Amino acid sequence: MAALRRITTCFRILRSSNRVLISSRKPAGKWTNILYTGISSLTVGAGLCAIPFKQADSLSHDSLVRRAASLVTDSSSTFLSQATLALIDAITEYSKAVHTLIALQRRYLEALGKLTQTEEDKIWQVIIAQRSEVDDRQDECKRYESTWFIAVKLCETAAEAARTSGAEHASITVATNIQVALSQVEEAQKLSKDADKKLIEIKVMEVEKMAQHVASLQNDSDEEEVPEAYLRED
């Protein structure tokens, strides 16, 4: 509303200046300058130009482009920083969920054959819920990873634009930010890869344990049937 009031005031000044200019018999040079000044103020006040004309007169196009390129690198670096933080947090939560699942499955395998049917059903409900949690965390990682890749590409483009426009410091800064982000994400991904490796190992162990358990039950069943067969032969 304040900007609208300023624009309305400027238009009133322009109309008033125009009437004075038309009715005046003096040379129009002075009033022409006043009109140009009013138009410049109106343009800046309306938000059509980011830099006032009085300052623009002392700045070259190269200087303005370098300033704009620096702003782009700053904003893209902020985007990358936030995307990196979100991705690292997502990877960390995924790793925690995987390790929790591994612990649950290991405890189940250690108690295999010692549980009642009710206890086994309860444990499996917890395991299934934790597997769902792992899947959700993995989907979250993929979503943030996609955003992070976009942020990296954006920073690379901003760094190239800054270098081309002569803003070397801004280009070097955003390039350094990219390297830091890559390093941080790489370290976080090591944790998730280690968790995935352990999850695969526990799944293999689960298959082996279940096979041994089934074989043991089968042997017990055979041993129970032998005496009955022997008695029938007698």
d(CA 186, CA 215): 44
SS3 140: helix
Which CB contacts under 8 angstroms, 24+ apart, belong to 185-193? 185/84, 185/87, 185/88, 185/91, 185/148, 188/87, 188/88, 188/91, 188/92, 189/91, 191/91, 191/92, 191/95, 192/91, 192/94, 192/95, 192/98, 192/141
Low-confidence ranges of the chain (pLDDT < 70): 1-58, 213, 216-234
pLDDT score for 213: 66
pLDDT score for 186: 96
pLDDT score for 48: 37
Q: Helices 61-110 and 168-233: crossing angle, nearest 10°?
A: 20
